[in-house]
Structure 1
C-alpha cells in the first residue's frame, strides 16, 4: 500500500504497475481499497491495476465538505498524478456511483465502466442514509459494522471475510463515512447514465439485499447497450464473496472491449 500526492491532496493507492489500458477499482462506503485484493492479484499480473481510497478513507487525507463529485475529482486527480489518461473504471456500490460521476466529468477518459452492486438512484436511499448515520453515531463504527455484516454478505460468506469486513469498516473515520453515506445513498444520477456511451458491464450478487438485482436491472435499462450479469451465491460484496466468478466475467468483458476497440 502507498500514497500519492495529487492536486487535491494525498490519496491512498495500490498500483500494480504494468502495461495496457489500466483497470481502476473504486470501493464502497463501508470499505477501502483493500477490498480489491482479489482483483489486484488477478488482474495485476497482466495489466496495470489501480485501487484508490476516497478522501478520508484508508490512506487518503480527509477533505471537508466533499461530495460524490468531489470523490470523482479526487480519483481523476490521482490518475493524473499516476499519468493515466484513460482507464476502465470499475466501482462497487458507492464505487459505481463515483464511476458514473467520473464519466460525467470526463467521458473521453473512460474506456469502459463496470458498475457492481450499484444503481442510478436508490428508492430507499434516504431511509438507508438516515439509519446509517444514526447507527454510526449511536453504535460507533465498530458497532455499525457488527450490526450490518449479516445483511451485507450472502448466507455462505466465510467467517474470515466477515471479520475482515468488520475490521475495515471499524477503522473508517466517522466523518468520512458520513460523507460517503451521503454520496451514495442520496445519489440521483438517472440523467447522467443516459449520456453514457462507452461500453458498460453491470454486475450484481443475486443475494444482494442492500442493492438488490432489480436496481441493476433498472441501471441496465437506463443504459441500453450495457450487459448485465448476476453472480450466484454473492451478496453486496460480489467481488470479495465470489472473486473467481467476478474476475472471470470481468476479464471476458475487458477482452471484448479491447478487441472491439
Structure 2
C-alpha cells in the first residue's frame, strides 16, 4: 500500500515584535488537534521574503500557516515561494497592501524614537490602535502586550518595521493562492481595518472571511474563544492532523 502523505504542521506566525504570548490562548486548543510550532523567524531575518525562506527551510513537509499582522505577510510570502507545501492559510489582522507614504513616514518617525531609546512613548500611543476600546480597561491584557514588545527591544522594533516597510504589494498575487484560506479581522481593528480583510478574502479564490466582534488588532488576545472556535472549525475542513506540539 502507498505510504500516506505526512500530516501538515500548523505554524503560528506572530506579528511585529510579538512572541508566543500572542498565541497563548490558541496553543492548547490547537495542540489538541494538530502538531503546532510557533515560529520566531521574524526575530532572525531582515526581510519578509527572507523570513519566509527560513521558515520553509526549517520546517520540512506540508504546512498550514496561521499568521497574525506581520506574520500574515510572512505566511503569504511562504505560500508564494512553496505553493505545493502550504496546504492552508489563516490570515489574522493582516493586509496584502504595501505601506502608504503616510505609514512609511509614521514608521520612520517611530524608528527615530526607538533609536533615541523612547520606546515606551511609541507603545503608549500605539495602544489606542492595537486594542478595541473595551480591551484597554483590561490591565492584564495591556500589560501582556507591553511586556512582549518591551522584551523585543528597540533594535528588533527598528529591524522589523523596516522589513514591513519594504514589503511588496501582494494584492496582484492573491488570485494565484491555491490553498484554502481563512481571513479573520477584529471589527475595531485600526491598524489593518476590515476593508483590508475584505480585500484579502475577495482576492484569494474561495477564501472565507470572518469578523471578530469586540476585538481590535490583537484579536488572538482580546477574543481568544471566538478565534479558537473559528480556527478549529476551519482546520476540520482541512482534515484531522495528529495531536502533539513540536518543540
Instruction: Classify the TM-score, shorter chain.
Output: 0.7 to 0.9
The Cα of 1:72 is off from its aligned counterpart by 0.8
| Structure 2: distance between partners of 1:219 and 1:128 | 24
2:94–2:196: 8 Å Cα contact kept in structure 1?
yes
| Equivalent residue for 1:50, pick from 28, 37, 45 | 37
Counterpart for residue 109 of structure 1: 85
- Deviations 1:116-166, CA, capped at 9 Å, x for gaps: 111111453424422432332345333322331232011121211100111
**69-78 vs 129-138, which moves further:** 129-138
The Cα of 1:256 is off from its aligned counterpart by 1.4
Q: Judging changes above 3 Å, is the alpha-carbon distance between structure 1 residues 185 and 215 closer, same or farther for their aligned structure 2 residues?
A: farther
Counterpart for residue 9 of structure 2: 22
Question: Unaligned regions of 5+ residues in structure 2, if any?
Answer: 1-5, 241-247
Counterpart for residue 93 of structure 1: 69
How many residue pairs match? The answer is: 230
Question: Unaligned regions of 5+ residues in structure 1, if any?
Answer: 1-18, 57-61
The Cα of 1:109 is off from its aligned counterpart by 0.9
TM-score (norm 1): 0.81
* Over 4 Å off, 4+ runs: none
Counterpart for residue 159 of structure 2: 179
Q: For residues 183-194 of structure 1, what are the structure 2 equivalents within 5 Å?
A: 183-187=163-167, 188-194=169-175
The Cα of 1:254 is off from its aligned counterpart by 1.1
**Quick check: 1:257 aligned with 2:238?**
yes
SS at match of 1:171: helix
TM-score (norm 2): 0.86
